[in-house]
């Protein structure tokens, strides 16, 4: 749709253009006109000539000032009458002078031309042409009232009236041209700004890191895609809300207070153009919509906005992987320094005694058994570490075949028969799962081994199985020490062990359940736990039922 040029003009641009036109010519003209008036007066002319000049200057100044304010505010806060009335008064005054100074000979219709020009520049088309037409009529009126409406004055009357009218139209065309020019300049500028804005938005959207910006009162303005995914909250859910309420952060000891929030603290900082975004704050956790804690670093800095005010820009980086690696390194160091060293020291001690020949007979046999058990523990730990590395590398491979469940479980239970006699199995025969027999043995070995390890001696362990839709559900239930509720969701993570001293005094790596759960997942199944401290735990393994191809 075509827009009228005036509807979209930018007041400041118009003001600049008119200002540029008026300053070099307008001021000398006014001074010249005023000087000429004084000169004419001193030379004996009617003092009213000064009044006319002052009034003319005032008209032009008032007209252009009104125009400037109108344009700058982009609206018509002044009625056009405010400009038109002084202009029309000037027209009438000039007419009066023309009449008293001899009509057409007075040449004052020239003043009417000037006035038409001001009208054309200051008002919109219909007003400008109206005032132009009035000027043209006044030229004819001057001729009539001074008895000069005759053939000898004909050309002057005709040229004068046409000139007065056309000057209003011409000046109005200039005004329209200036407005259109300003408009297209502004359109270009707006277009450039929009392109620039789109580029910035595209860059922010493509960032891997979360990015948020706020206004000067800490209300969220931008919230990129990465942050939507990380925090589980969409931009439309957080827009306009206080940053510390939607970008919830925690340290190890709990959620951050408003005053501790990096974005809130950054708001009180001073923005220094070109200064790098602040040092990232580490050891922080982002609290997601589901109340999950994600390890993050947050860099926040003041962000320039309108005038002197500033908001905040913050970059949130998910460092779960890095923190996971560093935790794994710590866990590995503690594993090597304690869990691996203990059986090794034992083995070496017993082996030394045997080598010295200091012990004989039954005692020597006992030592040999200790050496065998310690070495077996070492072998298991090394095996678990290697399997973890294979899982981490995404290289856990299954050799899937039909596995008859009761056979598999009985084989595993058999292996524990030496250490306990209290395992009770109720596995219906005829259930077969689709799986890797060797890896599944590892899973049940770990679960049954844990049940024995974390229960009082000879406390009952019940293993049962049932079919649920397309899955076999095998449960391993003990009446042992149980697992603290807050630990239950973490025990399938690497190196997780209960801090309970009943657990800590027993050997273990915290890798068994991680491996078992990863094996179950690789089968398309799962392992879950229900437990209450002091009364025991039940682990449930779900595996896909075997279907004849």
List residues binding ligand ADP (CB under 6 A): 446, 450-451, 454, 478, 480-483, 491, 496-498, 503, 508-514, 537
Residue number, 17 or 491, with CB nearest to ligand ADP? 491
Decide whether 70 or 537 has the Cβ nearer to ligand ADP: 537
Q: How far is the CB of 523 from ligand ADP (least distance, A)?
A: 18
What's the min distance (Å) between Cβ of 331 and ligand ADP? Answer: 11
Q: CA-CA distance, 88 to 481, in Å (whole number)?
A: 102
Phi, psi of 478 (to 5 degrees): -130, 170
Q: How far apart are CB 498 and ligand ADP at their closest, in Å?
A: 3
As measured in angstroms, the least distance from the Cβ of 453 to ligand ADP is 6
Exposed/middle/buried for 170, CB within 10 Å: 0-12, 13-18, 19+? middle
Closest CA to 22 of 63, 51, 54: 63
- 96, 233, 324, 494, 498 from 327: Cα distances, Å: 98, 28, 5, 10, 16
The smaller minimum CB distance to ligand ADP, of residues 299 and 537, is found at 537
Least Å distance between CB 503 and ligand ADP? Answer: 4
Smallest distance, ligand ADP to C-beta of residue 464, A: 16
CA distances from 305 to 22, 213, 214, 292, 310 (A): 35, 11, 10, 33, 5
Cβ distance to ligand ADP smaller for residue 261 or 497: 497
For the bound state, the minimum distance from the C-beta of residue 441 to ligand ADP, rounded and expressed in Å, comes to 15
Residue 480 — φ and ψ, nearest 5°?
-90, -150
CB of 428 to ligand ADP, least distance (A): 24
Q: Give the C-alpha separation, 86 to 102, whole Å.
A: 24
CB of 224 to ligand ADP, least distance (A): 38
Query: 18 or 454, CB closer to ligand ADP?
Result: 454
CA distance 318 to 297: 7
Q: Is 350 helix (H, G, I), strand (E, B) or coil?
A: helix
Closer by beta carbon to ligand ADP, 117 or else 537: 537
User: Closer CB to ligand ADP, residue 209 or residue 339?
Assistant: 339
* CB-based contacts of 407, cutoff 8 Å, min separation 6: none
Select 241 or 453, whichever has its Cβ closest to ligand ADP.
453
Instruction: Please name the helix (run of DSSP H) or strand (run of DSSP E) that holds residue 413, with its range, or none.
Output: helix 405-416
Q: Which is nearer to ligand ADP, 63 or 512 (CB)?
A: 512
Cα separation of 66 and 83, whole Å?
A: 7
Taking the least distance from each CB to ligand ADP, the nearer of 198 and 502 is 502
CB of 492 to ligand ADP, least distance (A): 8
Nearest to 168 by CA among 203, 102, 114, 117: 117
In angstroms, the first-to-last Cα distance of the chain is: 67
By CB atoms closer than 10 A (0-12, 13-18, 19+), residue 521 is middle
Question: Cβ of residue 504: shortest distance to ligand ADP, in angstroms?
Answer: 8
Q: Are 248 and 286 in contact (CB under 8 A)?
A: yes
| Alpha-carbon gap, residue 183 to 14, rounded angstroms | 9
* 354: phi then psi, degrees, rounded to nearest 5: -65, -40
CB 55 within 8 A of CB 39: no
- Between 317 and 531, name the residue whose CB sits nearer to ligand ADP: 531
Residue 454 Cβ vs ligand ADP, minimum distance, rounded to whole Å: 3
Q: Which is nearer to ligand ADP, 9 or 446 (CB)?
A: 446
Cβ proximity to ligand ADP: between 132 and 510 the closer is 510
Bridge partner residues of 474 (DSSP): 465, 541
Report d(CA 46, CA 356) in Å as an integer.
Answer: 141
CB of 382 to ligand ADP, least distance (A): 14
Backbone angles phi, psi at 450, to 5 degrees: -65, -40
């Amino acid at each position: 749709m075509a827009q009228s040029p005036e509807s979209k003009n930018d007041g400041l641009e118009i003001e600049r253009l008119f200002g540029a036109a008026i300053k070099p010519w307008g001021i000398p003209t006014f001074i010249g006109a005023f000087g000429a008036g004084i000169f004419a007066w001193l030379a004996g002319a009617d003092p009213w000539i000064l009044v006319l000049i002052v009034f003319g200057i005032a008209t032009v100044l008032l007209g252009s000032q009104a125009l400037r304010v109108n344009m700058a505010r982009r609206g018509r806060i002044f009625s056009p009458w405010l400009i038109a009335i002084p202009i029309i008064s000037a027209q009438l005054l000039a007419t009066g002078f023309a009449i008293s100074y001899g009509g057409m000979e007075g040449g004052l219709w020239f003043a009417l031309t000037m006035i038409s020009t001001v009208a054309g520049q200051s008002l919109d088309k219909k007003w400008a042409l109206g005032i132009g037409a009035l000027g043209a009529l006044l030229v004819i009126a001057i001729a009539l009232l001074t008895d000069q409406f005759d053939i000898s004055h004909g050309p002057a009357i005709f040229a004068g009236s046409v000139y007065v009218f056309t000057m209003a139209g011409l000046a109005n065309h200039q005004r329209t041209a200036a407005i259109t020019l300003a408009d297209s300049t502004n359109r270009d500028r707006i277009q450039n700004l929009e392109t620039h804005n789109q580029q910035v938005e595209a860059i922010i959207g493509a960032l891997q890191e979360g990015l948020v910006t706020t206004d000067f009162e800490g209300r969220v303005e931008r919230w990129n895609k990465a942050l939507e995914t990380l925090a589980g909250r969409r931009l439309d859910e957080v827009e306009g809300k206080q940053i510390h309420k939607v970008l919830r952060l925690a340290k190890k000891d709990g959620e951050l207070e408003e005053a501790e929030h990096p974005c809130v603290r950054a708001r009180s900082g001073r923005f220094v153009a070109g200064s790098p975004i602040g040092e990232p704050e580490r050891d922080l956790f982002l609290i997601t919509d589901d109340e999950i804690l994600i390890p993050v670093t947050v860099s926040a800095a003041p962000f320039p906005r309108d005038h002197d005010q500033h908001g905040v820009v913050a970059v949130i980086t998910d460092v779960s992987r890095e923190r996971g690696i560093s935790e794994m390194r710590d866990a590995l160091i503690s594993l090597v320094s304690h869990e691996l060293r203990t059986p090794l020291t034992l083995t070496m001690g017993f082996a030394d005694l045997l080598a010295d020949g200091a012990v004989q007979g039954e005692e020597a046999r006992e030592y040999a058994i200790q050496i065998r058990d310690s070495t077996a523990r070492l072998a298991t730990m090394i095996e678990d570490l290697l399997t973890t590395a294979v899982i981490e590398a995404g290289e856990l491979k299954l050799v899937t075949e039909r596995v008859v469940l009761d056979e598999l479980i009985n084989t595993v239970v058999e292996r524990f028969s030496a250490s306990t006699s209290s395992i009770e199995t109720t596995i219906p025969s005829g259930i077969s799962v689709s799986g890797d027999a060797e890896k599944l043995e590892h899973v049940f070995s770990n679960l049954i081994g844990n049940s024995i390890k974390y229960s009082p001696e000879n406390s009952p362990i019940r293993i049962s199985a049932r079919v649920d839709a397309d899955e076999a559900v095998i449960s391993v239930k003990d009446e042992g020490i149980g697992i603290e509720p807050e630990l239950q969701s973490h025990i399938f993570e690497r190196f997780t062990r209960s801090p309970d001293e009943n657990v800590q005094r027993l050997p273990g790596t915290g890798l068994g359940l991680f491996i078992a759960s990863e094996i179950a997942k690789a089968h398309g199944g799962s392992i879950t736990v229900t437990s209450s401290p002091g009364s025991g735990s039940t682990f449930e393994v779900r595996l896909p039922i075997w279907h004849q191809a």
